[in-house]
Amino acid sequence: MGLRRVCAAVVAVLLASLLTVVAQGPAQAEVRHPRQDWLRQSTAGLFLHWGMFTAPKHLNCAEWERDVTGGGWTADYWIDEARKLGASYVVLATFHSRLGYARPWPSKIPGSCATERDLLGELVRAGKAKDVKVILYMTDDPQWHSEHGVQMLDSAAYSAHKGEQVDLTTREGFGRYSYDLFFEVMRNYDDLAGFWIDNDNEYWERNKLYEQVRQLRPTWLLSNNNEDTPIMDTVSNEQKTGMFPSYDYPAATFTPMPRLSEACYKLPNTGDWWYDGGNHAVDTRLNTGRYITNAGSSIKSLMAETPMVNGRMPAQQETYNNFMAGWVPPIRESIHGVEGAGYLYGGMQPGFWNDGAHGVITINPRTGKQYVHVVTRPRADFVRLRDNGYRVTGVRDLRTGEQLRFTQSAGHLTIQGITKWDEYDTVFAVETLGQQGFYPDVKASATSSGNGFPASNLTDGSHETYWDAGGAQPVSISLDLGRRRKAAFLAINQRESSPTHARVSFGRPEDSSRIKDYQVTGSDDGRTWWHVRSGALPSARGTQFIDIGAQEGRFLKLTVLGTWGGPQAPVYSKQLKIDEIRVGHSYPRGSRDGALEAEDASRSGSARTESCAACSGARQVTGLGGGERNAVTYRDISVATAGTYALQLDVTAAETSTVSVSVNGAAPTSVAVPRDRADVPDAASIAVSLNAGANTVKVFSTGRLGLDRVSVGGLPPSNYTPKTTLTVQPHGVQWVGPGQQSVKITARLRLDADDQIDEVSLAPALPAGWTLTGAPAVRTSMRLAGLLEGTWTATSPAGQDVGSASIPVAASFQLLGSDRKVSGAVPVRTRPADRVFVREAEDSANQFGSTGLTGCGACSGAEKVRNIGGSADASVTFPQVIVPETRSYRLFVRFTVNGARSYFVTVNGGAPVEVKVDGVGNNTPYVAEIPVTLNAGANTIRFGNDTAGAPDLDQIALA
């Protein structure tokens, strides 16, 4: 008997003995384990959706296999394509609910398509020969069993195999069938690397499937889709979109390091996850950006391609793979075997940098070398980013080998004179002498701690322990320096357990749990406190900084006044968690090289230089108040081409004022500057017209202002609008009665980006004949986290029905002198004559619990409520359902569903009534009708299912 047969026999005995194993206690996450080491060293994987329904669709298993083999399918081709992408593993999704439940291996368990040729075995062997792991996808979902009119699950054959009746089209029956398949695969494929689980099945969990995988195949990985299941090694985050920049995939993820996580996304711009017959384009800019930003957050890029029946990739995907085969190797050391920097592995600050630049940092944990990845280049010839206390000794362009000039002061590294930009990722290798300037012995306490995560975790030196605020807001953290000491800044690493901005993902509302508004105070005795600084932090990943100027005292207190997350996403609202807070006492200093420092320019009147530790070059020019007589004048600000540029001024402001700029003697242009510290600079930008060559620029102010430095960059592109959150109420189509109607509208604009916008106005725009009560809401300027709110009443014309109307609500503003606009709308419709009440499920008047809204093009109002059922909280409640009299009504429920599901409908707190429905496709609306008895006036109707998933809900109506 060969060694392989011996191993298989041993595994078979273990399988038999473990089928009845019941693990004790709840599963615990193994955040780190030796079996994960290979994946931690990886950058990417290749996700292959391929099966019977790959175009051209096959409904017969033997015919599909014949065409696979006849078309020339080879395992080596897939492995080679993965290697071109820099991928260390392949996930094969063939046993997929939308691809016919095909098994690419010879199986002794009947129930769905299985090939005679061992395609899985060939792939595993090919991967092993070229050091590429293979992971097998497994689905829990039987609902698509007859999507194409042919039954793809053979319940009769499986029932005969088991000796009892099992319905594979139910979750219980399918869970039982697929449970057996796990063990068959474990028995037969020693060199498989694990399973990729597309959500859980109750049968698997009840029978401790994962615990048995752990015992039978302890080196195999388990990955789960879209949720953090403790026993899994990897959390996979599927197809996140809507971020800015669009490639910044980590902005939509929710898993803190060192937990392993994947970004799972399609490379083709359009089409299904599987080959649908089209040669869809691949956006190189988008996908290289995802690849790099994921590496900069220790997230693995699981890239989905769509192989054809013969295994070949469509031409545009092959072209992309070939591009990556040449693009990755020159920067390989910066993306392979590295970790994301700015988090628990140390490193400088990722995110948005100067002049529109955006990128990430990677760090080699063994050598300490850091890599600055500029994915979006700045509108200038330099990159300026926070150094996080690292003393830099050298900077080199990794692709060209060119040594670059740099300066370092005020907590920033500036890489200068950059002339060669890669189209997708310019990488700078940065050598440092390590981190300096932080106190190592700070003690922390807080006014509130929750869930067993005390404030002492904030300063214990470990990012793997954290403080939980316990839902309290405001909440204060006191930092004891041990004795009276100097302090210059706070460096804060918040828990990366939420996305960076409000969004909806698969119908679930998400939001950022990070600090928004804060206040810092100081004290010598812990009892009497003085104001140090207040402001807002951006909702961003990685280390965030609060510069506090020249402070001296024993205690610092950070009071978090509010976080970014709103109540529409209760899972994230007020859920502040912080890994570490460090107190910095000084900034690393480097050589100066003639940057546009204010102290090097000409001065007039009372303008004078003084020291400023938080300023570039450690000096600034003060005394600029009082107008043009007290000024700083630059005689030689040069540009190559005449045009309009963004002039950034780093200023300190002891009081609210304006800063003004005159270029070449022209009339000055001014911008408002809010009050802040006189020894901490902040940026203000003005659009200025410059001539080719040298220009004279004079800077002055109306109030007490200091000038640190200026820089010149291009204007933001015309398609850039700073990120805002515009909330318009009421949300959803408003169904009103006949005749004249009035609609109360409220709107709230929040600026989420670290830009300044000016001349801000917020107001509805009415259809012809309507009248508006209430003036536009206006602000002269807004900065990060600024708010603008307004309330109006819109009244339709007298003597006629509303009909079909839309009331846009627009926020207009200027960005560096250029007009921008964001808008929402309140659609209003007259309800049908045979309906006494109509309301959309997504209407803001409803209560949503843990459900969420999602788009649905075929639905009324183009939205619906998803994720109803499975718990008491996952429900939708319609309050204020108003009818004219007490009697029985016909309730029309408009819904979408795939398969058989049930609502339980409760009226005015009465006994729930089950409403069973069935349908095919979650984008096809159906209508169910049930009788309900309602009281005259207001009623409450609840839709839920406490124990199982319910259909998605579009609208209700009463006749």
Q: Are residues 215 and 350 in the same domain?
A: no
In three-state secondary structure terms, 583 is: strand
Burial bucket for residue 626 (CB in 10 Å: 0-12, 13-18, 19+) = middle
Please give the Cα distance from 681 to 616 (Å, whole number).
Answer: 9
CATH number, domain containing residue 451? 2.60.120.260
Q: How far is CA 159 from CA 149, 156, 171, 209, in A?
A: 22, 5, 15, 21
- Going along 623-723, which residue ranges are E strands? 627-639, 643-653, 657-663, 669-673, 682-690, 693-701, 705-713
Cβ-Cβ contacts under 8 Å for 318 (sequence gap 6 or more):
81, 312
Q: Are residues 88 and 210 in the same domain?
A: yes
Q: Are residues 177 and 259 in the same domain?
A: yes
Q: Are residues 763 and 868 in the same domain?
A: no
Whether the Cβ atoms of residue 836 and residue 956 lie closer than 8 Å to each other: no
Domain containing 734 equals: 724-830
Q: Within 10 A of 810 (CB to CB), how many other CB atoms are there? A: 19
Select from 568, 606, 577, 368 the least CA-distant residue to 471. 577
Q: Are residues 187 and 289 in the same domain?
A: yes
Q: Are residues 754 and 863 in the same domain?
A: no
The strand pairing partners of 405, in sequence order, are: 416
Residue 37 lies in a domain: no
Residue 64 lies in a domain: yes
Please give the Cα distance from 133 to 155 (Å, whole number).
Answer: 33
Q: Are residues 496 and 634 in the same domain?
A: no
Which helix or strand (DSSP H or E) is residue 284 part of? Answer: helix 284-295
Give the type of residue at 215: Q
Please give the Cα distance from 466 to 46 (Å, whole number).
Answer: 34
pLDDT at 26: 36
Please give the Cα distance from 161 to 146 (Å, whole number).
Answer: 22
- DSSP secondary structure letters along 429-445: EEEEEEE-SB-S--EEE
pLDDT at 865: 96
Kindly report the backbone phi and psi dihedral angles of residue 106, in degrees, each rounded to the nearest multiple of 5, phi listed first.
Answer: -70, 120
In three-state secondary structure terms, 553 is: strand
Could you tell me where the DSSP H helices lie in 307-366?
Answer: 315-327
Residue 30 lies in a domain: no
Q: Are residues 216 and 362 in the same domain?
A: no
Give the number of residues written for the chain: 959
Q: Are residues 259 and 363 in the same domain?
A: no
The strand pairing partners of 224, in sequence order, are: 197, 235
Burial bucket for residue 77 (CB in 10 Å: 0-12, 13-18, 19+) = middle
Please give the Cα distance from 461 to 441 (Å, whole number).
Answer: 10
Q: Which two tokens stand for residue 536?
A: 């807002």
pTM comes to 0.93
Number of domains in the chain: 6
Whether the Cβ atoms of residue 166 and residue 155 lie closer than 8 Å to each other: yes
pLDDT at 29: 67
The residue among 794, 811, 830 that closes a domain is 830
Q: Are residues 114 and 232 in the same domain?
A: yes
Q: Are residues 812 and 870 in the same domain?
A: no
Burial bucket for residue 523 (CB in 10 Å: 0-12, 13-18, 19+) = middle
Select from 151, 245, 263, 193 the least CA-distant residue to 38. 193
Q: Vertex 9, ends 7 and 10: CA angle to 5°?
A: 65
Give the type of residue at 14: L
Mean pLDDT by runs of 10 across the 959 residues of the chain is 39 39 44 95 98 97 98 98 98 97 98 98 98 97 91 98 96 96 98 95 95 97 90 94 94 94 97 96 98 98 98 98 98 97 97 97 96 97 97 97 95 95 98 96 96 96 95 97 97 97 84 97 97 97 96 97 92 95 94 78 96 94 94 95 96 94 96 94 96 97 94 94 96 96 97 96 96 97 97 96 96 96 97 97 94 92 94 95 97 93 97 93 91 98 95 97
pLDDT at 921: 76
The residue among 414, 435, 456 that closes a domain is 435
Q: Are residues 926 and 795 in the same domain?
A: no
